[in-house]
Amino acid sequence: MLPFKLVYHNGYDLNLGEHVFPSQKYRLIRDRLLEEHFAEPADFIAPQPASDADILRVHDPRWVQRLKTGTLSVEEILKLEIPYSPEMVAGFWLATGGSILAARNALRERIGFNIGGGFHHAFPGHGEGFCAIHDVAVAIRALQHDGLIQRAMVVDLDVHHGNGTAAIFAGDRSVLTLSMHQFHNYPSEKPDSIIDIHLRDGVEDEEYLSRLKDSLAVAMSFAPNLVFYLAGADPYQQDQLGGLSLTIDGLKQRDRLVFETALAQNVPIAVVLAGGYARHTGDTVTIHCNTAKAAKEALS
């Protein structure tokens, strides 16, 4: 048995068809972890969908209503960049419930792990870049509302800037936002996070890990009650939507660094997977599976 639960639901697949975002990756990750005997069926737990009350602590009621009734405008769908379907909407509610559950698990088990989530481009009143609901923000607000945490830190290591995260928590002293991303990449407008590390194109393992280590050392002085780690696979050197040059091993070292830094200060970590668009989907699956393996190693 693993020392933490893996939160997963078959409904995480957004049913996008032929799309650069391989939302079938969540099922493939689960299958790989079972095939490699890293995990057993009992290590997986299914979340309930987030409640509308949870969602509405972050999102505009009108946006939620349009999502649930399928009345998005053409412009909203174009901005979202994924096709609309009821299955897509249900997937976001499930992924958000999964991130809430992973955060609660982290408080008990030191690490909580959602095989999904990380939809950091969602804003309160609209979606962008494959992200309709900001699961991490909703989870933070849920735990704050329930009095389980006061301060949270978001460590976003997707290749793309966490613009929705920065906008949602702007001016909120209870949440520290850190985004380390390729500067010359989506989104074109990057609202200020508390800590932004803008990377030049083509950054490789050594520079990436050095800058991350320094930034985490500064950020942890915030003394959060919980770290939300967006473990994007898209800094990978063969990602279709990224322009950094990290290796698979470098990405696993990144994961270890995040886990070890937080756990050394007894701060629990909730993991969500965020982006990953490698030319070979199997590489994306390997990178995400390695995050789970790094989590286990950090607890051993």
Residue 264's contacts (CB-CB under 8 Å, 6 or more residues apart) are: none
How far apart are alpha carbons 70 and 224 in whole angstroms? 38
pLDDT in tens, 286-296: 999 999 999 99
Could you tell me which of 9, 16, 7 has the C-alpha nearest to residue 87?
16
The predicted model gives 26-33 an average pLDDT of 98
Domains of the chain and CATH, by start: 6-299 (3.40.800.20)
CB 295 within 8 A of CB 111: yes
Task: Check residue 158 and give left, alpha or beta (phi > 0: left; psi -120 to 50: alpha).
Answer: beta
Max Cα separation, the chain?
A: 50
pLDDT of the residue at 20: 95
pLDDT of the residue at 109: 97
Task: Please indicate, yes or no, whether the overall pTM of this predicted structure exceeds 0.75.
Answer: yes
Whose tokens are 């609901």? That residue is 133
pLDDT of the residue at 242: 97
The predicted model gives 151-175 an average pLDDT of 98
Whose tokens are 């800058």? That residue is 211
pLDDT of the residue at 15: 82
CB 205 within 8 A of CB 248: no
User: How far from each other are the two terminal CA atoms of the chain, in whole angstroms?
Assistant: 13
pLDDT of the residue at 18: 87
Angle between helices 86-109 and 61-69 (to 10 degrees): 130
pLDDT in tens, 262-294: 999 999 999 999 999 999 999 999 999 999 999
Asked whether the predicted pLDDT for residue 17 surpasses 90, the reply is no
What's the distance, CA 125 to chain centroid?
Answer: 19
pLDDT in tens, 101-157: 999 999 999 999 999 999 999 999 999 999 999 999 999 999 999 999 999 999 999
